[in-house]
Amino acid sequence: MGYENLQVERKDGVAVVTVSRPKKLNALNTKTIDEIDAIFTALASDDEVRGVVVTGAGEKAFVAGADIEELAGLDAESGRALSERGHRVFDRIEWLGKPVVAAINGFALGGGCELALACHVRLASENASLGTPEVKLGLMCGYGGTQRLPRLVGRGAALEILLTGGRVGAEEALRLGLVNRVVPLEQLLPEAEALVREMIANGPLALRATLEAVHGGLDRPLAEAQEGEAQLFGELCASSDAGEGTSAFLEKRAPRFRGR
Ligand code: DAK
């Protein structure tokens, strides 16, 4: 399928999804949200793809937010519907079952910051600038930001970002745990790809179960979440990949995981 506002490149098990509306700093209009929905639906069932990098076109912006032109005409009903749709699309990223790394190459504001938050790990270039300026527009985050940001950086740091609408530079984002690493812009994509490759060298069922245990567990009481972990652990033990991984270690050879 061809996309108007996304570039998608698949190579050796990794898909690089680039949001591309450079004249609008890659702002997420409805068409782009639809395309993100479509590509992540396709990637979920694409067995050739085992990990994903999400980035923005150009050297200035990852994604500068939801498209403000489209936000201007919303009323109570359409605003709620747009927000719920955004939640479904961004949940699809979080629940892909394969590692997704955001390569934040500049502004990641509003909906762009929320897109990065829906990814599993975030790398930033030195010129990255993150924030949720919705309050400056008389709005608030509508794509999960009020929920994912405090879960990632804690309530106090999140509220400072959410309530000021100010921007956080790459080093500050690193200090807060909002991003995992900061690298020079030219190294951002290679480093993000290398990180995904390091992850996908591991057993795909193990990665899927780990993602599910973390995302499914964090919102539950510890005892219940640990029950979930035990269930997933048991299922993995019955997989041939687990047999292969342990045998390979004992036989001092590299494992050949088959996702079964
Ligand atoms: N939407 C639409 N166009 C945008 C845009 C955006 N978010 N960000 C930038 N652009 C456009 C600019 O209008 C400009 O277009 P032209 O005038 O050339 O046609 C072009 O991109 C280049 O931008 P600038 O000329 O402004 O570039 P600068 O380097 O001077 O400034 C900037 C870069 C990133 C600081 C600035 O563009 C800026 O402040 N942009 C807006 C950032 C922002 O406020 N982002 C948050 C948007 S609000 C909800 C669901 C979701 C959300 C809210 C509610 N519900 C369902 C209710 C999420 C909301 C948001 O994300």
pTM of the model: 0.97
pLDDT of 72 reads: 87
Question: Do the beta carbons of residue 51 and residue 12 sit within 8 Å?
Answer: no
183-218 confidence digits (pLDDT tens)? 999 999 999 999 999 999 999 999 999 999 999 999
Other Cβ atoms less than 10 A from the Cβ of 117: the count is 26
> 160 an active-site residue?
no
Both tokens assigned to 146: 């009020």
Decide whether any atom of ligand 1 lies within 6 Å of the 59 Cβ: no
**Residue 234 is inside which H or E element, if any?**
helix 222-237
Residue 107, pLDDT > 80, answer yes
Report the distance separating Cα 253 and Cα 16, nearest Å: 30
Of 4, 9, 70, 114, the catalytic one is 114
What backbone torsions phi and psi does residue 224 show, to the nearest 5 degrees? -65, -40
Residue 126, pLDDT > 80, answer yes
Decide whether any atom of ligand 1 lies within 6 Å of the 135 Cβ: no
40-78 confidence digits (pLDDT tens)? 999 999 999 999 999 999 999 999 999 999 998 899 999
CA distances from 221 to 2, 208, 226, 231, 240 (A): 43, 21, 9, 16, 31
Decide whether any atom of ligand 1 lies within 6 Å of the 144 Cβ: no
Right CATH number for 204-250 from 1.10.1660, 1.10.12, 1.10.3470, 1.10.1740?
A: 1.10.12
Specify the residue with its C-alpha closest to ligand 1, atom 54.
Answer: 142
Residue 1, pLDDT > 80, answer no
What's the rounded mean pLDDT across residues 120-130?
98
> 244 an active-site residue?
no
Residue 38, pLDDT > 80, answer yes
Question: Do the beta carbons of residue 171 and residue 182 sit within 8 Å?
Answer: yes
216-257 confidence digits (pLDDT tens)? 999 899 999 999 999 999 999 999 999 999 999 999 999 999
In angstroms, how far apart are the furthest CA atoms of the chain? 64
**Angle subtended at Cα 90 by Cα 128 and Cα 100, rounded to the nearest 5 degrees:** 60
130-185 confidence digits (pLDDT tens)? 999 999 999 999 999 999 999 999 999 999 999 999 999 999 999 999 999 999 99
Whether domain 6-200 has CATH 3.40.190.10: the reply is no
pLDDT of 73 reads: 86
Specify the residue with its C-alpha closest to ligand 1, atom 40.
Answer: 64
2-26 confidence digits (pLDDT tens)? 999 999 999 999 999 999 999 999 9
> Residue ranges per domain, the chain?
6-200, 204-250
